[in-house]
Chains A and B, each alone.
Chain A
């Protein structure tokens, strides 16, 4: 897929939250989202993600890392669902044996992708969660 063929979702005004404690991944995930025209914010752990929602912010999509300090992705996902947050949450992680993946999914994820994220994987997430727009 060439750069010119990438869908631009700016008109749909989708918003996303990147939840990851690693600056390299934050930078890449934000860039991936921006490339598709998706406005996005970033926080460094699950607690900050929960706090952001408590302060009234809301997002269409949350890219949730699993391993984070203070509050990990599984805990944060559970908490957000308990709060009634209905955003689509996609778990993204490198560390996931089947048991950990199952636990993460059962916390309330809508989708799961292994890192590293690429444009193709992000498009797959968007497509699966019905955000995908035809070019």
Chain B
């Protein structure tokens, strides 16, 4: 094990993780998720966020269809989708996605189709951005492990 390489990678991981919180991509719920990962389920976080991203893709597609026709928007369906998305984003600590959902719900409540479309576009952007960021984070984890190191605990506070 090259201890210098491991230390560098660990530092990179820590800095990257902290930046994700500071930039608002993640919140404390992600920390809670990481606490659940253990030797018995070393990929737990990656598996849960993968479920979340699948959820995002499906719900965004469904809401897009509901919002398609200006004369026939099913706001109840859209509201249901936003509620689901807000719930799962909250559960994984996807802070920006959750915040867009809050604004999205407000647009649904007043049946503002244009506002909903804007929020839909934004939530699509945010989840894809988070997906890329977390993939980079997981790649760093793999590099640390392959170099013989351990994943450091990161103190966000």
Contact = CB atoms under 8 A, between A and B. Distances in A.
Interface stretch (A26-34, A44-52, A55-63, A83-91): A26-34
B57 interface: no
A116 interface: yes
Nearest to B80: A67
B29 A116 contact: yes
Given A115-B90, A116-B29, A22 B38 contact: no
Interface in A17-41: 22-25, 27-28, 31-32, 35
A17 B23 CA distance: 37
Question: Is chain B's interface secondary structure helix, strand, loop, or mixed overall?
Answer: helix
A116 B83 contact: no
B36 A22 contact: no
Contact of A24 (B32, B35, B36, B91): B91
Contacts of B32: 116, 118-119
B47 interface: yes
A27 B47 contact: yes
Interface residues of B, number: 22
Contacts of A24: 48, 51-52, 55, 87-88, 91-92
Nearest to B44: A31
Nearest to A2: B35
Interface in B45-75: 47-48, 51-52, 54-55
Given A25-B88, A115-B87, 5 more contacts: A22-B55, A31-B36, A118-B29, A119-B32, A119-B36
Interface of B: 29, 32-33, 35-36, 38, 41, 44, 47-48, 51-52, 54-55, 83-84, 86-88, 90-92
Interface of A: 3, 22-25, 27-28, 31-32, 35, 67, 94-95, 115-119
